[in-house]
Homo-oligomer: A and B are copies of this chain.
Amino acid sequence: MPHLSIQYSPQLDDSHDISALCHDLSDAITESALFPVAGIRVRAFRADHESVADRHPDNAFVAMQMYIGAGRTLEEQQRAGAHIYAAAEAFFADRLAGAHFMLSMEIFENRADLSWKRNSVHPRLKG
């Protein structure tokens, strides 16, 4: 953990470097000091088709869903979430200043008793 999965409008690949967004969000996750670097998995998926709001051709969205392990307080989750979301807002400041953009993020807590995982990066980074 954590998992941050991003869905986004195809036109954004023409105007923004979405790999750079993934790195910025990873930095923000690390800065939140709630999660180990070895567990960070930020990834983005370009929509193949979409229909956004009033279908204006400039409309675009970025929707982020973050799945984290159980055990943090609500206040910790809210503080980390606000910090990570702020990094996305900064990245898309130009779009948000316009009239055709929608940005969102939600946090979901995974249940420990219905989760399975292995991570071979952890031992290397503890190195």
Work out how many copies of this chain go into the complex.
3
A-side interface mostly: mixed
Known: A111-B106, A121-B101. A43 touches B7 (CB 8 A): yes
Contact A23 B51 (CB under 8 A): yes
The closest CB in chain B to the CB of A109 belongs to: B114
Contact B7 A5 (CB under 8 A): yes
Q: In the complex, which range does the number of interface residues on chain A fall in?
A: 35 or more
A8 CB to nearest B CB, Å? 9
Interface residues of A (CB under 8 A from B): 3, 5, 7, 9, 13, 18-19, 21-23, 25-26, 37-56, 59, 61, 63, 67, 74, 77-78, 81-82, 85, 89, 95-108, 110-111, 113-121, 123-125
